[in-house]
Amino acid sequence: MKKIIIIASVLILTILGYMILASMIEKNVQQSVQEKITDLTKHGFDIEKIKKDQKSDHYILTFKDMQKITPFIQGFNPKLSANTINALQDMQIALDVQNNHGFLDDIKIEIYPIKLPSEMQNSLKADERKAMEQHLKQKTIMLYLSFDKSLSDFKGYLQDIDIKELKKELKIQGDTFSGKIKNGKIIGYEENVKEFSFKADGKSIVKFSDMYTAKRTQGKDALEKHYILKAKTFFMALQESNMKIDNLNVDLSWIAHDTTVDASAKGNLSALAFNNKGQMRAFEGITLDVDIKNINQTLISKIYRGKLKDIDEFSNLMNAKNPIITINTFEAKKIKQDKTNTEGFQIKGEIISDASKSNNQDIYKSLMINGKLTLSKSLFDLLSQNPSMDILFMLIPQNLKEDHYIFDIHYDDTLTVNKERIL
């Protein structure tokens, strides 16, 4: 773990401590937060309580018995792998719980890391270890959390961070959150981050601004959820490539039935740009609107718990309930490639699956596709400069209307384009 993003990792561990605490809160007002923290000993944590002063109690949570801690954490976040959780062995998180609040006051808690996991600690160089110990001592990373008296609402914030250490820079400004709890479960969560940036060796690795995320449980079923993601800007770099997004807006929802789930994905962004070794490609005015019906609940459950074996299992489970994918629209209004600018494209269509028409080895035989692809003439001309695409376009009947090529596509055992059979 010598190349680990040290400061960002500690931030994740702090938030993890908050998640563990929040997951144990129940609506029963008679049980105190202090009792719930102590109750974590049953899940593999060592708990040490120190009377700090008359205003608060001080707890130290040590990640000790990972065989108990791992399933406990995966119970509320199945996507975390066992290896990731096991790497937290011997980490310590401190919680300062206010105990002199009035009858109507919120219950206030401060959460901060005080010791790194052994695996991370052993992987650090001497100067890295010294720098991290100093930040832990100064409580550079501190999460403030409060619950109302009914233990049904919570809110908090991460204190602003601006660290420049060992050729790495981490900046987090304006990170606030709030949520609702019902029957021991978080049913609503919202978070705003004004600015987040991480640099290494003077180069931006991740950076975003004005990000808003929300998650809500819509019904009694755990699969009924609604997600929202918004960001003014988002940038991520990987080796010699980078990606930049402007004005992102995504809305995802799930509705559960007896054995199936219906999903809806809607999103738009004003610009998406890729830069790979100096070669630039950008899309403007992107819109996505897709509905999927009859998704197998077993498939969703396995994906959520990280239990999906391989692509064959995915295909078989996906096909089992005869899903219907409706592409209401997927379009990009403009495309830029280096110095070339073109108008964009639009895709609309429906993909219907009928498992009775195929076996597990011939999933494609179960599909029926009806769709329409619209390409601007300028984009068509650009794509035609590629020899393989030019040959493909020569084989497909073309329909040019008002500077746009329109391809009506139908597949049901045979493939037709613009009413002419291709395969």
pLDDT band at 53 (very low <50, low <70, confident <90, very high): low
**pLDDT tens per residue, range 227-248:** 999 999 999 998 889 999 999 9
pLDDT band at 77 (very low <50, low <70, confident <90, very high): low
Domain final position from 117, 140, 161: 161
Torsion-angle region of residue 350: left (phi > 0), alpha (psi -120 to 50) or beta? beta
209 vs 168, higher pLDDT:
209
Q: Vertex 355, ends 349 and 359: CA angle to 5°?
A: 120
Q: Are residues 229 and 152 in the same domain?
A: no
State mean pLDDT over 95-108: 68
Asked if residue 365 has pLDDT above 60, the reply is yes
* SS3 state at 282: strand
Q: Are residues 147 and 235 in the same domain?
A: no
Q: What is the pLDDT of residue 188?
A: 85
State mean pLDDT over 374-390: 88
Nearest to 64 by CA among 106, 92, 84, 94: 92
Helix (H) or strand (E) holding 241: strand 241-256
Torsion-angle region of residue 247: left (phi > 0), alpha (psi -120 to 50) or beta? left
Domain final position from 141, 161, 181: 161
For the chain, the domain total comes to 2
Domain-embedded: residue 208: no
Q: How many CB atoms lie within 10 A of CB 81?
A: 12
Domain-embedded: residue 204: no
Token pair for 259? 């054995």
Lowest mean pLDDT among 34-43, 137-146, 148-157: 34-43
Could you give the count of Cα atoms lying within 13 Å of 119 in the half-sphere of its Cβ? Answer: 12
Domain-embedded: residue 168: no
Asked if residue 146 has pLDDT above 60, the reply is yes
Domain-embedded: residue 133: yes
Q: Are residues 122 and 21 in the same domain?
A: yes
Asked if residue 320 has pLDDT above 60, the reply is yes
Q: Are residues 292 and 399 in the same domain?
A: yes
Q: Are residues 111 and 253 in the same domain?
A: no
pLDDT band at 389 (very low <50, low <70, confident <90, very high): confident
Which residue range forms the structural domain that includes residue 372?
218-423
Q: Are residues 286 and 412 in the same domain?
A: yes
Q: Are residues 33 and 121 in the same domain?
A: yes
Q: Are residues 242 and 123 in the same domain?
A: no
**pLDDT tens per residue, range 332-363:** 999 998 788 999 999 999 999 887 776 655 66
**pLDDT tens per residue, range 290-316:** 999 998 888 888 877 777 777 778 878
Contact in structure between 147 and 153 (CB atoms under 8 Å): yes
Q: Are residues 143 and 241 in the same domain?
A: no
Cross-strand pairs, 91: none
**pLDDT tens per residue, range 256-278:** 888 898 999 999 999 999 998 88
* SS3 state at 91: coil
Domain-embedded: residue 212: no
Q: Are residues 50 and 156 in the same domain?
A: yes
Token pair for 307? 């239990």
State mean pLDDT over 28-37: 55
Please, which residues have CB within 8 angstroms of residue 405's CB and are 6 or more apart in sequence? 374, 375, 376, 377, 380, 398, 399
Domain-embedded: residue 213: no
Q: Are residues 124 and 229 in the same domain?
A: no
Domain final position from 128, 161, 194: 161
Domain-embedded: residue 21: yes
pLDDT band at 39 (very low <50, low <70, confident <90, very high): confident
Q: Vertex 65, ends 60 and 69: CA angle to 5°?
A: 85
Lowest mean pLDDT among 41-55, 171-185, 320-334: 41-55
Domain-embedded: residue 176: no
Q: Are residues 225 and 157 in the same domain?
A: no
